[in-house]
Structure formats: C-alpha cells, structure tokens
Amino acid sequence: MPDSTPRAGARHRPTILVTGATGNLGRHVADRLDARGVRARRLVRRDAGPRPEPGAGTVVGDLTDRAAVRAALAGVDAVFLIWPLLEAAARGLVAELAAAGPRVVYVSSSAVDDRAARQSDPIAQAHADMEALLGGAGVRPVVLRSDTLASNARGWAPQIRAGNVVAGPDVAPTAVVDERDVADAAVAVLLADPDRSGSGRAADGPHVLTGPEVLSRADQVDRLGAALGRPLRFRPLPAGLARSRMLADGRPAPLVEALITAAARRPASDRTTDHVERLTGRPAGTFAQWAADHAAEFTAQDDLAQDDLAQDDLAQDDLAQGDPGQGGRGTGGRRRGGTR
C-alpha cells in the first residue's frame, strides 16, 4: 500500500484561485503563478473567450453564482480577486469567501479615498464598498489599489490603425501602471508567508500601485506615437459624444454612465508611489516601455479583438481601475483622483 504520509521537509504546493483569468491583468497573474510552480485555478465567465491552458484546472462560472464560487474555492489556499460588477450584490461572494477562509488579494482602485464618506463616483464607491464588505466579514484582504492599467490603451487601437488622431474625453492625468507590474505585485503578496506578512513587503496595505510618472491622455498618445514612429495626437471629445460611442460599442448603459461620471467628478491627483518596488523589489516600468513592448498590437488586426479586448475583460479592467472608456472605438481614458 503506498505511503501517503507527507515527507519531512516537503513544501506545500498552494492552490490559488485567479478570478478574471482571461483579462488583461488576471491572465498575467495566472501565468506567473504557473511559472512559479503554483497551482493556478482559473475562474472564467461562461461567455469568456478562448480558454487558457489549465494549471490547477479551469472553472467556468460567474462571481454572482454562489454555487460556482463555492466549487471554485474548494481546496484553495488564496484568491486573486477582481470584482467586475457595478450593480450585482457582492454579499454572496463575500459570504463564500468568509466560509472557505482563503487569503484574499483584492484589486481595488487607487481612486478610493479613505477620508471620504462617499466616493466621487459609482466605480470608486463599488470598490470602497467591496473593501468594507470583505473587512466586515472577517476576510481581511490584502488590498492592491491600482492606478490606470497601461493595457487599457489597447482600446485606442482601432483609431490608431485608422489614422493619427485618438479621440476621447479629456480627463485628469494619471500615473499609468503597467499591468505586468501589478501582476508581479499581486503574485508577491499571494506567495508571501502569511505568518510573516504583517511586517514585511507584503504587509496588509492597502498598497497603491502606480507607474513612475503622471501622464495625460495626450502624453500617452504621444508615447504610443513615438513607439510606432507616427505623429499621433489626442483630440478631446465632449461627454455626450463619448457616451454615445461607448453605447454604440455595446457597453452596458450603467457602466457607461459610471465611467462618464468618473471622468467628470474625480479630482485630479499627482501622486506616484514606490509600492510596486516595495512588493516586487524593482521599480515600476514606464508607459513608454509598455508602448514599445506592445507596438505591434496597434498595427496588427488579427487576434486583438478576440483576446485582449474580450468583452468580459473590458468590464473587469475598467472597474478595477476606474477607466472611463478606453475600450471599443477608443472613447477615452479615465479620470482618477482621491488618494493614490
């Protein structure tokens, strides 16, 4: 009969549930966990695009489906959590997390202002509410408040392929952060020793993840132009036109209104942090480097719509970082503010 007793000194190989695993951020987290020899269990929506290669399996389900969440959490040590929904109640999900008891790393928005009784807009409020729900249920998440993901600029690709003008709402500058840096920071926290996380690099946070410089939308477009060797320029759009374009692109009306409200109401902030470096041991990368690394995506037209801009990816990335409309036909960027 085989001896199933764990060998002395054998290391536990954790299983980590990755939500939003087909998204611009979640897939990087899952891939990094795979590379580290960790069992990454991917939770993907029923209407998601191409399935990733399985690590500890792929679970098809929705975060609002308690039975699906319960099944996905079975035997899990930690959860990488992205909450992509504005209107759906999160209480069921939080109750399942509290019952299962894994460590939770939650990607929130750097627009959340701890000093405010109410947040500036529905997206920031949704994240503040989720942080409060998790804490109130005893989950005690490690919160990563991410600034605008550089990957949201992919929403401008159709306009850039068509010409040299990118049109969108003119919003406050933001310290754009490379999604790969956010993924590295998340993995560092997910794999940190929970018995030592209270006093080290992966302390409870919240960690505010930013890039090294604050950029306007015009600055971002200029850097994309430099990477492509083209004279790109940004043209501001009024809110009404931006709204109509996002609706025409098929975005849900409540999400569109939340994004427009975020663009109009969030106060400007010029804050950058070194939290990426604290968690990963290296400084955050620049948007110029991201643009150089991804330049081909703004000229090729084959796989982008099926992969990087899958519909469920857009919603979760927009809500995670509060970006008002950098998807579809490139209806713009997001306005951030509050504390960064």
54 pLDDT band, cuts 50/70/90, is: very low
pLDDT of residue 181: 98
For the stretch 58-66, contacts whose Cβ atoms lie closer than 8 Å and that sit 24 or more positions apart, written own/partner, are: 58/21, 59/17, 63/19, 63/88, 63/93, 64/88, 64/89, 64/92, 64/93, 66/92, 66/93, 66/95, 66/96
pLDDT of residue 12: 72
pLDDT of residue 6: 44
301 pLDDT band, cuts 50/70/90, is: low
4 domain-assigned: no
DSSP assignment of 14-69, as one string? -EEEEETTTSTTHHHHHHHHHHTT-EEEEEE-TT-SSPPPPSS-EEE--TT-HHHH
pLDDT of residue 49: 52
pLDDT of residue 7: 47
195 pLDDT band, cuts 50/70/90, is: low
User: Percentage of the chain surpassing pLDDT 70?
Assistant: 78
39 pLDDT band, cuts 50/70/90, is: very high
Collapse the DSSP code of 235 into the 3-class scheme (helix H, G, I; strand E, B; otherwise coil) and give the result.
Answer: strand
pTM: 0.85
pLDDT of residue 46: 65
Collapse the DSSP code of 174 into the 3-class scheme (helix H, G, I; strand E, B; otherwise coil) and give the result.
Answer: strand
CATH number (domain holding residue 89)? 3.40.50.720
Over residues 129-149, mean pLDDT: 95
**Beta strand residue intervals within the chain, DSSP E:** 15-19, 39-44, 58-60, 78-82, 103-109, 142-146, 165-168, 207-209, 233-236
95 domain-assigned: yes
Higher local confidence (pLDDT), 115 or 306: 115
pLDDT of residue 266: 83
Q: Which domain holds residue 35?
A: 15-148+179-209
Say if residue 329's pLDDT is above 80: no
Q: How many domains does the chain have?
A: 1
316 domain-assigned: no
pLDDT of residue 277: 98
pLDDT of residue 248: 92
Higher local confidence (pLDDT), 1 or 110: 110
Over residues 20-36, mean pLDDT: 95
234 domain-assigned: no
267 domain-assigned: no
Beta bridge partners of 80: 18, 105
In the predicted model, what is the mean pLDDT of the chain?
83
Task: Find where tokens 């069921």 sit.
Answer: 92
328 domain-assigned: no
Cβ atoms of 228 and 299 within 8 Å: the answer is yes
54 domain-assigned: yes
Over residues 226-242, mean pLDDT: 94
Quote the DSSP letter at residue 310: -
217 pLDDT band, cuts 50/70/90, is: very high
pLDDT of residue 74: 95
What distance in Å separates the CA atoms of residue 245 and residue 6, rounded to the nearest whole number? 58
* CA proximity to 250, closest of 188, 181, 325, 307: 325
204 domain-assigned: yes
